[in-house]
Structures are given as structure tokens and as C-alpha cells.
A = this chain, B = another copy of it.
Amino acid sequence: MSKDIKNIFHKQGLKFTPQRRAVLKVLQDTQAYLSINRIHTKVKELLPGTGLATVYRSLETLVELELAVKVHLEDGCHSYTLAPEGHRHPIVCTDCSRVIEYTECPIQDISKKLSKKTGVLIKTHFLQLFGKCEECRN
């Protein structure tokens, strides 16, 4: 499993460094979108001394390798999370930032209809849902 990921790096001529490993582990251990600074803080717990620039560069690499995705949250901050498998949409809890991935895509069903109606050939879409998760609802 970790071997597989190692290979993904090596196939691209990239090194599987402790820093990149730490960034990936932080994303894997969290069910939420994390800002760069929160990622940096958590990475430093695993690997003290890691620089902020390295976190930026590691995240960029992870996105290129399609191991992570970058998104814009409502407030405009850039955040990252593990790349979902297949086509999914995130449901973000507005209180705790937890993310629940939603796999049934309602857009695919309607995109042909939409193309006919609007004249635009729909190619991609960006859908995020926001709400309160069970724990935060009380």
C-alpha cells in the first residue's frame, strides 16, 4: 500500500521523501479540508523543522500525482484534501470542516438535457455542498 504510493512517485522520477510522506499522512489522517497552515502545523508535529515552502511544494506534487485535490472553500481560502476515488462531490460541514464524500452525481443525469437547453456543451462541473453534520447539529 505504501509501496504502491512509493511507486507512483518513482514512476515520475520523483523521490518519496519523509516530508512528502508526512504531508500525505496528514491528509490521510484527516476527514476534512485543511488549509496550508493547518497542514504545516500537523506536518511539523510529525517532522519538526519542515519548512512552509516544502509543504507548498509537496502539495503541488501530490495534486500533480492526483493523490490530493485543491479546492476553494467558501471564505476563499485554499485548502487540500485526499483525492477521492472516482467522481465524487464533497459535503462540507460548515461548523467542523469535516468532509463527507458523496458519490452519486446528480449532474451527469441532467447534463445532456442541459446541453440541449442552453446550447453549451457541458464538459465539467464543480459542485460542493455545505451543511451541518450530525455531530454539529445539536
- Docked Cα-Cα span, A109 to B110, in Å, equals 12
A contact set with B: CB distance below 8 Å: 72, 74, 76, 78, 91, 93-94, 100, 102, 106-107, 109-111, 114-115, 118-134, 137
One complex includes copies of this chain to the number of 2
A57, chain B: closest CB distance, angstroms = 17
Q: Which residue of B lies closest to A133 (CB)?
A: B120
Residues of B within 8 A of A129 (CB): 107, 111, 114, 120, 122, 124-126
Q: Which residue of B lies closest to A118 (CB)?
A: B100
Residues of B within 8 A of A119 (CB): 100, 133-134
Are A130 and B124 also in contact (CB < 8 A) when A76-B78, A119-B100 are? yes
